[in-house]
Structure 1
Amino acid sequence: MAKKRVIILGTVAVITVGIGLTYGWRQWQEKSILANARTAQVTSDKEVTSGPATKLLWGDTHLHTSNSIDAFGFGVKLGPEEALRFARGEEVVSTWGLKAKLERPLDFLVIADHSGGLGATKALYDAPGFLIRDPTLRRWHDEMHKGPEGMQRVTAELIDRVGRNDLPKALTDPERQRKTSTSIWTGHSTLVERYNEPGKFTAFMGFEYTLMPGGNNLHRVVMFRDGKSRTDQVLPYDPGQGDTPVSQLWDYMDDYEKRTGGKVLAIPHNSNLSNGLMFELVGPGGGPMTAEYARRRAAHEPVVEITQIKGDSEAHPFLSPNDEFAGYGTAGWELGNLTMQAVKKPQDFAGEYIREALKRGLAIEAKTGVNPYKFGVIGSTDSHTALATADENNFFGKHSGGEPNSKRASEAQNLGTREGRFGWHYLAGGYAAVWATANSRAAIFDAMMRKEIYATTGPRMTVRFFGGWDFKPEDFAGNWVTAGYNRGVPMGADLKPGQGAPSFLISALKDPMGANLDRVQMVKGWVDETGQMREKIFDVVWGDSDSRPRNANGKVPAVGDTVDIARASYTNSIGDPELQTVWRDPEFNAKQKAFYYLRVLEIPTPRWVLFDAIRYGAKLLPGTELKSQERAYTSPIWYNPAKTG
């Protein structure tokens, strides 16, 4: 026995020494990573990001992994590392065992896991059941271990209770959540530093602030310009349950910048499910919006997400009845807010759609002198699978339960919402396009701040847009991009002083692996002399123009349709691969504030539901949209008489 005891103790000693060595190695590794992060931060701070932006970079600023309370609840097992590997172009295995890989890697990624309950469902799932005392949490724990359906039931209940501010106290204990969040956040920043490779791939720190009073989606993605050495000094902002004003998030951002010397921005998203609250004409509490409030919003939120999986928020037919292309990606999302706790009314639409918000910004500026909605636009996925794909033929769904299968397009899935809201209504989109001076945190973040960015619903179209006063078609014969910068301003900027009517250099090039272009449209918004908000859509250049002259009403005929339903394919026998023009506003009024942005339309192509039908024999519901005209939206260029006269 004595001999055995010595052997056992010796084994324990070896194990203890091994653990100590492992812990020591990890400590050294952490210190090394932090030291490298500090050096990288100094280099980033010195980086010059001004000057002509020559690099077009593609990314996703809104991706969830197993650290998000709802994503894990819906079953996703992939964490941040798999998300980063996938975005960089590596093959990973999805939650349900499918091989997943992008045809083309992304240039940058923001993993934006929910700050509220960061890692909570995963921790609950992993916890020993006999140690869980709270009856609700114990029931949820047991349900989740019954399999995917149990996890989905728990998540549906959890999201509903979040909307009602009715989470169990044990799940919202501040001290417990602080410890969990600290561990996850600092571990995540180490991972992000490891995968960040300036010049090749940029990994950003970020999180999603999930403000959702009564189920109304007022979420923001918070994106940092900085790395581990600064972001480890804070935790993701989580005010807990309650209807906290968004200004508290801005206070958090101000405090971060003051404390660390870093920079941070917020991106409002998915405004189409806010029930009219995302872009209000009034200030907090329903009173008049003040100049100070408008100024704070514009400063903290220079970018807005215009399109994503849960629909498109550019325009709605109710608001723009004369726009034949309004209403893309709105079907199914018009029923109510995010959790369906409130039914949507038509008067709510005006506070939910980007074009109307841009017009409202002009109207508020006329009263306060400040435009709160002077933002640029991007797209992103809001995928809860850890897979940042926006390709129709490679769509992995909103969450792990919606991975490719024969039923996902025809069933209303999860959340217990009304039949017909989920399923084929999801979009396989979108992406953020950034014109930057380099592929780095500093260059991409600064491009977003100056709004030299645009959105697509998935395709990687190359779009450039300059505003000035003397552009001519002959400019395209030379270095027209240089001319655009020298004699005008890029998307996202204010027109410089000039005479006459503004002119615009416009160029759109098809996705090299995608469809031809149907047309490029100029969307103009303004406030007239009576204070009324106005808009007009101009077809400025289009494909097959020789065979598609304007009709008697001045409209450009439809481009046609080559989609083969039986094969889920199309041909580029219509449209054009490249469209360029110089357009001058024929209705310019020098006394009226205005904005101009481009909408670029592809020819019709198959949607992901059609690929499902071909691959899996999926039976689709009547009314399922099998094809669409995917598109890009640029950030606006603004005209202000006070600044250009």
Structure 2
Amino acid sequence: MHRTRYSTFLCTSLLALLCAAPAPAQNSDIGTVTPERVEGALQMRPYSPYANRTFPERPLFGDTHLHTAISFDAGMLGTTLGPVEAYRFAKGEQVIASSGQAVRLSRPLDFLVVTDHSDNFGLAADIVAGAPNVLAVPEGQRWYNMIKEGQGFEAATEAYMATAQSRLPEALNYAPGTRPYRSAWEQTIKAADAANDPGRFTAFIGYEWSSNPGGNLHRNVIFRDDGNLARQVEPLTTIPPMGTSDPRGLWEWMQTYETKTGGDVLAIAHNGNLSNGLMFPIVEPVDGKPVDRAYAETRARWEPLFEVTQIKGTSESHPFLSPNDEFANYELWDKGNLDLTVAKTNDMLEYEYARAALKNGLKLEATLGVSPYKIGMVGSTDAHTGLAAVEENNYFGKITPEEPSPHRLTNVFQTGKVGSFTGWELSSSGYAAVWATENTREAIFDAMERRETYATTGTRLVVRFFAGWDFEAADATSRTPADAGYSRGVPMGGTLSGGAEGISPRFLVMALRDPIGANLDRVQIVKGWLDRDGNLEEQVYDVAWSDDRVPGADGKLPPVGNTVDVKNASWTNTIGSSELITVWQDPDFDPAERAFYYARVIEIPTPRWTAYDAKYFELKDVSPDVPMTTQERAYTSPVWYTPKG
């Protein structure tokens, strides 16, 4: 009753005021945005906490490493999808996979880079099609026949080894400058430019430089530019005389491109676990000399990021390198090099994994003045199917023969002198997350260059990570924590220095679960440092966790539990937290010691892709060696601490 009286009174009063008010002037500027008003608004402290923001507001998820039928190995193994289909799929469209199955992502990606192998662009398509110039060569006729007889894997292996060992017949050497090579590069460029939709979806032009001098030294090369600049060059190959397997040759090519076109390009080092100790050297593998300042400066200039997780495993750390890290034994591939011709030995591991590289980078920086391994983190798929599909329940494999089938768990897809890899050992991983101000080539590329990125194993959880000197506990209770992060600290990928005497750095870290994914188990901060005696050290700290658990006497946090029903490939979010956020201060900080810090966010256990396969195909006799659960995770780019002076 009182509400009615008040409403009647208010309406009557407003009507009277409106009737008494003078009519607005004909040329009134009410509502007009003038430069004076804009300037005044920018100078005011806004009531709206979202006004005047200039920092990234959400992560963009994508894949920086995807192959299509243009890639020599993918095409030979039966992939029929090209770049056009790859971009359509990444945008959320349903496509028909090369194996004849309908497939679609749960949600569109925000960006994609098609990175087909630059060696022999276009050759696979001609072999599969039986082009006359191919069939005129005995090797070409042989590989064509093998493919037709269902021996595509064997044909691809033979052709790959012939290429790697410079035994490929001249008529089959599709090199830069040849018509078929140029045609394939043009196809790549046109597909990316056509798919690029600024503000909605970013399609980058790129390729993979596939050096393999005894170990995998591949790099994915990404252009900031459109085809007007990119088509002024052709990709670098590893095939002599124009190509090279030396990364320094790639960096020279990149410099030449930028000098010639005024464009911008970067390279992302391939997941290092198959390099057999060559990916992060302290002694150059080419000439056997210690890494010098020129090498360090050049690598740091061109390679800001590292692919820490993908279908061929994860290269964050290893139990041999991090024996006190209970989560280091995750999706490891440590049998040998890429073609399994040379066995892995423990002394190689230090030069393959990201955490060890970051630590060695501290030591090199102390002596050379610059670290070659100041790397940010991304994940990507390295799928050779044209499909960036790595959710555990939507995993479409590494290669077309490993697309969903009742046999893919037990398929032997890669063999060599020192062993083999079986289908179940493949990981359904990963994606690159980028904190960019907008969904454009320029903004995403710039975020990659400043290393404001993180890697996930396929989940789309949101992670923020900042370092500063004066973060407060209240910053972790704000619903706009990034305001404090950017205004009083540096984000992931940045460098922290200074600080008052006796003050330890503080870290603001927050994680929000994937909306259709699993709850969070914990947030950890991984620290590595160079101590006063020149020793490299590391420590993993649990800084935020779910379910009111209490660390034990050994300082370890009890496991979060496990709700996975393997038989039904399901789980419940009855354990874990939907979000975790905290401010943590380093209790072991020494201002004289160089250090890095990165966040690792771990989800509760969920079914691995192998469990989904077992349920769908009703597999009865799955080996107990096959893991059926996983704990997906994210790795942020580090923040580095540099002492004064």
TM-score, normalisation: structure 1 = 0.89
| Correspondence list, 1:484-523, <5 A | 484-499=485-500, 500-523=503-526
Match of 1:352 in 2: 352
2:414 paired with 1:453: no
- Pairwise mapping of residues 527-566 of structure 1 onto structure 2 (< 5 A)? 527-545=530-548, 548-566=549-567
Q: CA deviation at 1:416?
A: 5.6
Once the two structures are superposed, the pairs formed by residues 259-274 of structure 1 within 5 Å of their partners are 259-274=260-275
Pick from 49, 63, 68 the counterpart of residue 65 of structure 1. 68
Q: CA deviation at 1:621?
A: 2.3
1:476 CA drift (Å): 3.1
Matched-pair contact (CA < 8 Å) for 1:129–1:141: no
1:166 deviation in Å?
2.7
Q: Letter of the aligned partner of 1:220 in structure 2?
A: R
Secondary structure of 2:259's match?
Answer: helix
Task: Give SS of 1:110's match.
Answer: strand
Shift of 1:230: 0.5
The letter for the 1-side match of 2:390 is A
Deviation at 1:131, TM superposition (A): 6.6
Query: What is the CA distance between 1:341 and its match in structure 2?
Result: 1.5
Q: In 1, Cα distance between the equivalents of 2:477 and 2:325?
A: 33
What's the secondary structure of 2:495's corresponding residue? coil
My pick for the range that moved more, 285-294 or 348-357, is 285-294
CA change 1:145–1:425 in 2 (3 A) is: same
Would you say the 8 A contact 1:117–1:172 is kept in 2? yes
CA contact (8 A) 2:492 2:638 kept: yes
d(CA) in 2 for partners of 1:420, 1:64: 22
Match of 1:372 in 2: 372
2:291 matched residue in structure 1: 289
Q: How far apart in 1 are the matches of 2:491 and 2:579?
A: 19
Name the SS for the 2:151 alignment partner.
helix
Query: Aligned Cα RMSD in Å?
Result: 1.6
Map Cα deviations across residues 88-123 of structure 1 (whole Å, 9 max, x no partner): 000000111100100100000000000000111111
- Tell me how far 1:130 sits from its aligned partner: 8.2
Letter matched to residue 140 of structure 1: W
Call closer, same or farther: CA 1:411–1:523 in 2, change over 3 Å: same
Residues 1:131 and 1:347: Cα distance change in structure 2 (over 3 Å): closer
Q: Which residue of 1 aligns with 2:641?
A: 639
The aligned counterpart of 2:401 is 401
User: Deviation at 1:524?
Assistant: 0.2
Among all aligned residue pairs of Structure 1 and Structure 2, give the percentage whose two residues are the same amino acid.
48
8 A Cα contact 1:306 1:313, kept in partner: yes
Letter in 2 for 1:323: D
Give the direction of change, closer, same or farther, for the CA distance of 1:326–1:483 in structure 2 (3 Å limit): same
Aligned counterpart, 2:383: 383
Cα–Cα, structure 1 residues 131 and 411, in superposed 2: closer, same or farther, change >3 Å?
closer
Pair member with larger Rg:
2
Shift of residue 390, structure 1, vs aligned partner: 1.4
Structure 1 residues 496, 480: closer, same or farther in 2, change over 3 A? Answer: farther
List per-residue Cα deviations over 1:432-474 (Å, max 9, x = no partner): 0000100000000000000000000010010001100010111
2: distance between equivalents of 1:65 and 1:417?
28
CA–CA distance in 2 between the matches of 1:391 and 1:108? Answer: 16
Deviation, 1:335, is: 1.1
Retained in 2: the 8 A contact 1:450–1:493? yes
Question: Match for residue 471 of structure 2?
Answer: 471
Give the Cα separation in 1 of the matches to 2:68 and 2:108.
Answer: 18
1:622 to 611, 618, 624: 624
Distance 2:165 2:627 in 1: 34
The Cα of 1:151 is off from its aligned counterpart by 1.4
Alpha-carbon separation, structure 2, partners of 1:417 and 1:481: 51
**Equivalent in the alignment of 2:148:** 145
Amino acid at match of 2:207: F
Partner residue, 2:167: 166
Distance 1:156 1:423, change over 3 A: same
Q: Does 1:108 align with 2:118?
A: no
Equivalent positions of 1:310-325 (< 5 A) are 310-325=312-327
Deviation track 1:155-212 (CA, whole Å, cap 9, x = no partner) reads: 121223334333233222647x632121121232122111110010000000000000
What is the deviation of 1:282?
Answer: 1.7
State the partner residue of 1:31.
none
How far is the alpha carbon of 1:145 from its aligned partner? 2.1
Alignment of 1:68-79 (within 5 A): 68-79=71-82
- Correspondence for 2:235: 236
Aligned-pair distance for 1:66? Answer: 0.2
Q: Is the 8 A contact 2:376 2:637 kept in 1?
A: yes
Unaligned runs of 5+ in 1: 1-49
Q: Which one-letter code corresponds to 1:553 in the other structure? A: D
* Distance apart, 1:128 and its partner CA: 4.0
Counterpart residue type for residue 186 of structure 1: E
CA 1:131 to 1:99, structure 2 compared with 1: closer, same or farther past 3 Å? closer
CA distance in 2, matches of 1:475, 1:131: 65
Cα deviation for residue 272 of structure 1 reads 0.2
Partner in structure 2 of residue 40 of structure 1: none
Aligned: 1:80 with 2:79: no
Amino acid at match of 1:630: E
Q: Which amino acid aligns with 1:250?
A: W
Amino acid at match of 2:108: P
Pick the aligned partner of 2:305 from 300, 303, 306.
303
Counterpart secondary structure, 1:598: strand
In the alignment, the residues of structure 2 paired with residue 107 and residue 173 of structure 1 have an alpha-carbon distance, to the nearest angstrom, of 33
CA–CA distance in 2 between the matches of 1:53 and 1:173?
A: 43
**Higher helix proportion (structure 1 or 2):** 1
| Shift of residue 612, structure 1, vs aligned partner | 0.6
Distance 1:417 1:428 in 2: 26
Q: Is the 8 A contact 2:339 2:414 kept in 1?
A: no
* Aligned equivalents of 2:567, 2:174: Cα separation in 1: 55
Change (3 A) 1:457 1:417: farther
Decide whether the 8 Å contact of 1:163 with 1:339 is kept in 2: no
Could you tell me whether the CA contact under 8 Å between 2:65 and 2:383 is conserved in 1? yes
1:75, 1:151 within 8 Å by CA — same for their partners in 2? yes
Please report how far the alpha carbon of residue 420 of structure 1 lies from its aligned counterpart in structure 2 after TM superposition: 5.4
Whether the aligned pair in 1 keeps the contact of 2:414 and 2:420 (CA below 8 Å) is no
Cα distance in 2 for partners of 1:200, 1:376 equals 25
Question: Is residue 596–residue 637 contact of structure 1 (8 Å, CA) maintained in 2?
Answer: yes
Asked whether the equivalents of residues 277 and 352 of structure 2 are also in contact (C-alpha less than 8 Å), the reply is yes
Whole-Å separation in 2 of the counterparts to 1:485 and 1:207: 34
Letter in 2 for 1:458: G
Q: What are the superposed Cα offsets for residues 250-290 of structure 1, whole Å, 9 maximum, x if unpaired?
A: 11100111111100000001200000000011234121211
Q: Answer yes or no: is the 8 Å Cα contact 1:72–1:121 preserved in 2.
A: yes
Quote the residue 1:413 is aligned against. 413
Work out the CA distance in 1 between the residues paired with 2:585 and 2:178: 56
Question: Does the 8 Å contact 2:339/2:416 carry over to 1?
Answer: no
Distance in 2 separating the partners of 1:542 and 1:634: 17
SS where residue 213 of structure 1 aligns?
Answer: coil
TM-score (norm 2): 0.89
Q: Please give the secondary structure, in 2, of the residue aligned with 1:365.
A: helix
Q: Which amino acid aligns with 1:569?
A: S
Give the CA deviation at 1:589: 0.3
CA deviations over 1:529-588 (Å, ceiling 9, x no partner): 22111100000010112xx11111111101010000110111111111100000000000
Residue 340 (structure 1) shift = 0.9
* Corresponding residue for residue 337 of structure 1: 337
Mapping for residues 157-236 of structure 1, pairs under 5 Å = 157-172=158-173, 174=175, 178-214=178-214, 216-236=215-235
Structure 1 letter corresponding to 2:371: N
Supply the distance in 1 between the matched residues of 2:568 and 2:380 (Cα, whole angstroms): 28
> Can you give the 5+ residue segments of structure 2 that lack an aligned partner in the other structure?
1-52
